[in-house]
Chains A and B, each alone.
Chain A
């Protein structure tokens, strides 16, 4: 599904990603952990095609397409979804309007039939319920005045609506109370399927208690420095990152899994 090879990327001329490799196959869940400022959000932004995040070297193939040549909106339409670490507000634009426009853009591109207003409303209400957001939220401006946890749940709600192929979740579990964490995890598990993949960026084991990852990677200083199974996350939780950073080389391509 996604194949990233030797990816290097700069923000405003400063190199942040320094030769990163990762391969994600359909149905897999990958967790990426790593110290603050190591480049995790940068990776998700580069994959999603954000302005100013310039890939300078390497390749990114998504379902056989060269992702780096696509416009951000076309990447989304191809099925890449990014749940933002810091969701932004769009005052005055209701969640409903936003979601409807978004879904229409996606379905048009994917040559799927558009939903009728009634079907759309039914779907939106149902997904709201799944993430435990009152349907009143649909009428409010996008993230406008939402609490931190509500914003995160709203990201999951959007993900459930759009049914992407590859979901990048950038610290969606941060700042959530226990119940909200469960809601987010349920949302992810609900979508898990043999042809859908996830990259979960997280600092904590607790999300991974609910969503079993197939692989765990450690990203430090713009590179994946270690990869393993779900047990690696437990080890990290216990020992932190310092034991890895001191000298451990990236093991002989553990990512070719």
Chain B
């Protein structure tokens, strides 16, 4: 039997996070109009300024067109068929502590391997839990407050910290940035808010777990992280959703602000439901993530993308301040009929700005994996440097990998380096492993992990292990 037949035979694996939580929900009727936006805003007791912002964004969205340039195929989305708000009934009086949270919700997270009881939690990791449209609970808030760190749901921040919201919300990703970002601005439901004060090194890892549960709802969360001068924070987001035959839309916006000398490390382990082997169902993950670096600041994006039917995201860094640093480390795995078009944009504006891009794309089955990256060096970016490495690994012969590196350099002193490789998990490698007693499934996962090593080492320790396991599960049955 040839290698490809062998690989074909067992491309089939389980999605562990595919269960549905049975709690009483209140979900808006599908459809989008001004009234729906007013209702979302009212539901959240938002101040007037926020409602105005949303309505303005909605008007702008109506005039925009759906982007067509990505290397992905999907039927037109009917925005009238989506419900824009859904929350568990029990959240009506926001629980103040874990003891008040609906136990069924807590069980959901236990099943996902995220124990929420503080004594059981990963030591040193604070978690914000977003379930469909609302933040359920944020742990370790008091402890963080001791060092002046604000970690809460965005809804809460809109009410409690209007001065920060007014100053920074939409400052990195403007409302009109793109179609899905504009939609998010008008209907965003919840997400996390982080503020690290001047000179503070955030005493623990912060993380948010996003869960889509309800049918036919879109999740439009929004995250805003502000690291004040000289501060440091490491933040991680995880995402899962039930296995359903319908496609669901996830249109998030993440904005990072790293003020002078600040460092933000943002890691993502994305495991939205990818759809079944025939491409039925799965999440459309259309996300805008961007950070801005002031002088001497640094932003690192690390992402491990194994889920979603379609992934469309380009975490980017605007290197505005002199000597600022942007990094992008990515592992994207597509199998079955999954499609990923992902990469980054590094916009060099300041002098001596530096960026590093390491992208590892893995395609199995009929998966399609595209790296799309832009390195833009402005005329003022004297001495700017970029290093880009894009590696693709193919498993089987029905999958595809594409690389689209765009480089625009308007400063002759800039140095831009690009390396790209494409390799296959070869029959020789598999046979070597088998000959040493290692079964092919374990061999593929070992080879893929080796391929991703330079990205995994950028993840916080606890999550590097998780990411490795996730890859292993996602690759289950990728060969025989």
**Genuine A/B complex:** yes
CA distance A105 to B426 in the complex (A): 21
For B426, what are the chain A residues with a Cβ–Cβ distance below 8 Å? 88
The A/B interface has a contact count, at CB < 8 Å, of 84
Please choose the segment from A47-55, A128-136, A187-195, A212-220 that sits at the chain B interface, where 4 or more of its residues have CB less than 8 A away: A47-55
- Chain B, range 247-274, C-beta contacts under 8 Å to A: none
B450 engages A90 (CB within 8 Å): yes
B449 lies within 8 A of chain A by Cβ? yes
Q: How far is the CB of A209 from chain B (nearest CB, A)?
A: 28
Contact assessment for B447 and A93 in the assembled complex, using a CB-CB cutoff below 8 Å: yes
**Taking CB as reference atom, which chain A residue is nearest B454?**
A92
Q: Are A51 and B6 in contact (CB under 8 A)?
A: yes
Question: What is the CA–CA distance of A158 and B436 in the complex, to the nearest angstrom?
Answer: 9
Query: With a CB–CB cut-off of 8 A, which chain A residues contact B449?
Result: 92-93
Q: How far is the CA of A52 from the CA of B446 in the complex (A)?
A: 23
Q: Are A76 and B434 neighbours in the complex by a CB distance under 8 Å?
A: yes
Binding stretch for chain A, among B140-148, B176-184, B190-198, B437-445: B437-445
Contact, CB under 8 Å: B434 / A73 = yes
**Residue among B428, B438, B454 making CB contact with A88, cutoff 8 Å:** B428
Q: Which residues in chain A, 96-127, are within 8 Å of chain B measured between CB atoms? A: 97-98, 101-102, 105-106, 109
Mark out the residues of chain B between 435 and 467 whose CB falls within 8 Å of any chain A CB in the assembled complex: 435-440, 442, 446-447, 449-454
A159 to chain B, nearest CB (A): 10
C-alpha gap A82/B436 in the complex (Å): 8
Asked if residues A71 and B434 are in contact (CB atoms below 8 Å), the reply is yes
B359 to chain A, nearest CB (A): 15
19 interchain pairs, CB-CB under 8 A: A51-B3, A51-B6, A52-B2, A72-B435, A73-B434, A73-B437, A73-B438, A76-B434, A76-B437, A84-B435, A88-B426, A92-B449, A92-B454, A93-B447, A98-B446, A105-B437, A105-B442, A106-B437, A142-B432
Task: Report chain B residues within 8 Å CB of A149.
Answer: none
Q: Mark A140-163, 1 if CB is under 8 A from B, else 0.
A: 011000000000000000100010
Closest to B451 in A: A92
Which residues of the partner chain A approach B452 to less than 8 Å between Cβ atoms?
92
Q: Does B429 belong to the interface (CB within 8 Å)?
A: yes
Asked whether A77 is an interface residue with its Cβ less than 8 Å from the other chain, the reply is yes
| Proximity string of chain B (287-300) to chain A, C-beta cutoff 8 Å, 1 when within and 0 when not | 00000000000000
Chain B residues 390-447 with CB under 8 Å of chain A are 423, 426-429, 431-440, 442, 446-447
Check B435–A101 contact: CB distance below 8 A.
Answer: no
For residue A91, CB closer than 8 A to chain B, the reply is: yes
Residues of A within 8 A of B446 (CB): 90, 93, 97-98, 101
Chain B residues near A73 (CB, 8 Å)?
433-435, 437-440
- The verdict on A19 contacting chain B, using a C-beta distance below 8 Å, is no
By the criterion CB–CB under 8 Å, are A92 and B453 in contact?
yes
**What's the nearest-Cβ distance from chain A to residue B60, in Å?**
46
Indicate whether A162 sits within 8 Å of B450 (C-beta atoms), given known contacts A51-B1, A51-B2, A52-B2.
Answer: no
Check A82/B437 contact, CB under 8 A, given A90-B429, A90-B450, A91-B450.
Answer: no
Q: What is the CB-to-nearest-CB distance from A173 to chain B, in angstroms, rounded to a whole number?
A: 19
CA–CA, A48 to B435, complex, Å?
7
Q: Bound complex: CA of A90 vs CA of B424, how far in Å? A: 11
Chain B 1-42, CB-CB to A under 8 Å as 1, else 0, gives 111001000000000000000000000000000000000000
What band does the interface of chain A fall in when counting residues whose beta carbon is under 8 Å from B?
Answer: 20 to 34
Per-residue interface assignment for chain A, residues 43 to 74, with 1 indicating a CB less than 8 Å from any chain B CB and 0 otherwise: 00000111110000000000000000001110
A92-B450 CB under 8 A given contacts A51-B6, A51-B427, A52-B2:
yes
Q: Which residues of A contact B428 (CB under 8 A)?
A: 88
Does A87 sit within 8 A of B, measured CB to CB?
yes
Interface size of B in residues (CB-CB distance below 8 Å): 28
Say yes or no: A98-B2 contact (C-beta < 8 A), given A91-B450, A92-B451, A141-B450.
Answer: no
In the complex, A94 Cα to B6 Cα: how many Å?
Answer: 26
Q: How far is the CA of A183 from the CA of B283 in the complex (A)?
A: 57
A98–B443 alpha-carbon span in the complex (Å): 9
CB distance from B7 to the nearest CB of A (A): 11
Chain A residue at smallest Cβ distance from B425: A90
Partner of A93, one of B2, B3, B427, B450: B450
C-alpha gap A249/B428 in the complex (Å): 36
Q: Residues of B contacting A77 with CB < 8 Å? A: 437
Closest A residue to B5 using CB positions: A51
Contact: A84 with B432, CB < 8 Å? yes
**For the complex, what is the distance from the CA of A78 to the CA of B449, rounded to whole Å?**
27
Q: A92-B453, A97-B446 are in contact. Are A105 and B438 (CB under 8 A)?
A: yes
**Interchain CA distance A57-B428 in the complex, whole Å:** 25
What 1/0 flags go to A166-189 for Cβ under 8 Å of B?
A: 000000000000000000000000
Q: CA–CA, A97 to B433, complex, Å?
A: 12
CA distance A106 to B2 in the complex (A): 26
Cβ-closest chain B residue relative to A105: B437
Complex Cα distance, B343 from A209, in Å, reads 58
Expressed in whole angstroms, the minimum distance between the Cβ of A40 and any Cβ of chain B is 17
Q: A73–B438 Cα gap in the complex (Å)?
A: 6
Q: Closest residue to B434 on the A side, CB-wise?
A: A72
Instruction: Determine whether the beta carbon of A101 is less than 8 Å from that of B2.
Output: no
